[in-house]
Structure 1
């Protein structure tokens, strides 16, 4: 059985497998083919992969001769394939047309962002491993963009007040952002629609902003859910009070398959002081402000709004290491002890992240959209 690792598009610096993951696969008798240069932006060259037991080939050779192709993002050549197994993070709820096309071609695809969020799936949870990095880098990016200190300083020249950081969303990215901002000495407030995260927020030394009457999000896999109009009104009022005092805002709120909720209105932006910074991690799905643009920095009335949903790619070595470990753990479910493909459809994790198989879209949530 052969696994092929493809080089990602120019805007992506990560790679599906580092050499250490290749070593683990070759020990199981799996042949690993690497597209030449696939790991360079993660600081691993072809020679490193050869030492780990991989075979270096051209992109076309890898695509044609591999049983399983791993690529983080959808790739153009998939449009001409058939009877291949593809594994990556394909955002099928936003790429329904692509999934339908893959189904027609007879491709079996697994999208790891659709794994059920269960205890057993934690070792394969690419959303969490990558969001952890994004939350960390969001705060560092904010600190680098902000024109003032984060910590309090008392000097002979005068005292500097600590930065006030507001974090909207206390998922994995939000919690790491809290911890990083606190380590840098900021005063942190946090808003989340899920009351259950209050204890975690407070344990990290941040203040939790509570708004009563939120819709139950316990079955949303760690994501936000749509709220009632009454709740949204009270939510915006509380956020407006905090945002007017904030120097830094980190926004992370997303709803699977839908546009990100606008939590910061233009009126709120106007209330922020000039030089304030917003890092919008939800930029790829529209952003949590009405003026966010993905992969761009917008200056709105003196406020810097940085839209970036791929901050994990700014730490490609560790991001690739963690992603590769997640992927390796998933592969254990579909590769037997002899190193052969064994798609066990009775396994809830295998079935839960399979998007296309046997000529059709098989994932219920993707089917519901199409």
Structure 2
């Protein structure tokens, strides 16, 4: 049985290795994070030569930030006298899961921090466990408010959603924004985004930014206000079923709901120019949302971007990493959208990892506390022992709008007389009046005696508080991470 805490009390060497996966250009730690890792968190950072080149980060940039550049080594050539070699560091940071050959490079007692996808890499995890490696899976960080700064999936989904619009705009043979010239006018492109999670919301914002008319659909009614706040139109079904799932994801819907959904998509396909699909269900094949007949309902020249192509695809005709032409409709199935923005993606990825390493105690106080909800969720192997997934706390039910009960001051059933007296409307009105008088008196004092600069700052502060309150008051906890994804890194 694993111990509640796994700790070290010495300076930890952190290794940054080069990615070997085809089309992958990101790097696990970017130079902007190295300075914080070394100076504030106490790590000694070693970087494999050329690890950041594909992402636009030179070896010189790493050295300037405080890292040490080390040469690559082939499998089986390590000796204990080479402690600075990146693959044999105490903590190794990668983007993608290691290959079978790369798994042999870790030394016993080391820790791997990377995307893992445990349900898809059982054999890899068994091999790492046999070598006594501790594994922190970045894709298993719980999607809770406290872990936003460590949420790699949201950071990468935000980039993928944005990039999907750029790829669609490149292939689409027309303007996204409306055009009016002496030669005539053109209406804006009509874009349908299916799935209003992090990637979907990023796609809505990007398409609106280019001037397109955007429509969005999601099985979760609570996403409506997020879509509309970005300037999109939320499509609804007259069907009494919610798609709210755990951790901000959608759940599998009923057969009847899916049939109604397909009818909606067929009708929309006759009107829109671009469809972007972003729907995923954790641990399962991506749901089929755009079958062949929906593609054939699109006008020639239309574009479909399938962000789920790597997980089976939301579009029946999409193929990973290629553009399929079906009757004049281009279907983009790129699986490397984040790598197509490798510099920014690496910087966000690196920031998320840095926050996670801080949660672990840093380089001088490393402590994998299994009582910590974030660390327990991310840890899938500890000291060579496989850990079962932790029990997930039930997520609060997301509601599309604030209910009247939220603002009601009616006493709860069984309330004590003293509580009922406090909720008396007359007393509440008297309290409001008294509070208003205090505010007026305070404003008079400030206006009479305070300097003008102070009044300007006070005005900005009050307005900021009011705007912030209006923005977040109705947001349900289940949507915090999608809403904050653009800033979580």
TM-score range, shorter chain: over 0.9
Q: In the alignment, which of 369, 372, 375 is matched to residue 344 of structure 1?
A: 369
1:113–1:249 distance in 2 versus 1, CA, 3 Å: same
Show the counterpart of 1:315. Answer: 341
2:221 pairs, out of 187, 195, 199, with 195
Residue in structure 1 matching 2:144, options 102, 118, 121: 118
Q: Which runs of 4+ in 1 moved over 6 A?
A: none
Q: Structure 1-normalised TM-score?
A: 0.94
Which structure 2 residues correspond to residues 125-274 of structure 1 after superposition, within 5 A?
125-211=151-237, 212-219=239-246, 221-274=247-300
Residues 16-44 of structure 1 show CA distances to partners (whole Å, capped at 9, x for unaligned) of: 11112111111133110100001111211
The aligned residue for residue 74 of structure 1 is 97
Cα distance, 1:215 vs structure 2: 4.1
Aligned residue for 1:41? 54
Task: Assess if the C-alpha contact under 8 Å between 1:217 and 1:224 holds in 2.
Answer: yes
**C-alpha displacement at 1:256, in angstroms?**
0.9
2:377·2:390 contact (CA, 8 Å) conserved in 1?
no
1:237–1:365 Cα change, 3 Å? farther
SS at match of 1:240: helix
- Asked which structure has the greater CA Rg, the reply is 2
Q: Any conservation in 2 of the 1:142–1:277 contact (CA below 8 Å)?
A: yes
| Contact 1:215–1:228 (Cα < 8 Å) also in 2 | no
Write the distance in 1 (CA, Å) between the matches of 2:137 and 2:193.
29
Shift of 1:300: 1.3
- Unpaired runs of at least 5, structure 1: none
Conservation of the 8 A alpha-carbon contact between 1:26 and 1:32: yes
Instruction: Tell me the SS of whatever aligns to 1:197.
Output: helix
- C-alpha displacement of 1:302: 1.3
- Aligned-residue offset at 1:63: 4.3
Q: CA separation in 2, counterparts of 1:79 and 1:235?
A: 47
Preserved contact between residue 23 and residue 336 of structure 2 (Cα < 8 Å):
no
- Compute the displacement of 1:80 (Å): 5.0
Long gaps (5+) in structure 2: 1-11, 74-83, 392-489
Q: Compute the displacement of 1:356 (Å).
A: 1.4
Q: Give the C-alpha shift of residue 103 in structure 1.
A: 2.2
Q: Answer yes or no: is the 8 Å Cα contact 1:223–1:253 preserved in 2.
A: no
Match of 2:18 in 1: 7
Q: Matched residues in 2 for 1:195 and 1:46: separation?
A: 48
Q: CA deviation at 1:54?
A: 0.8
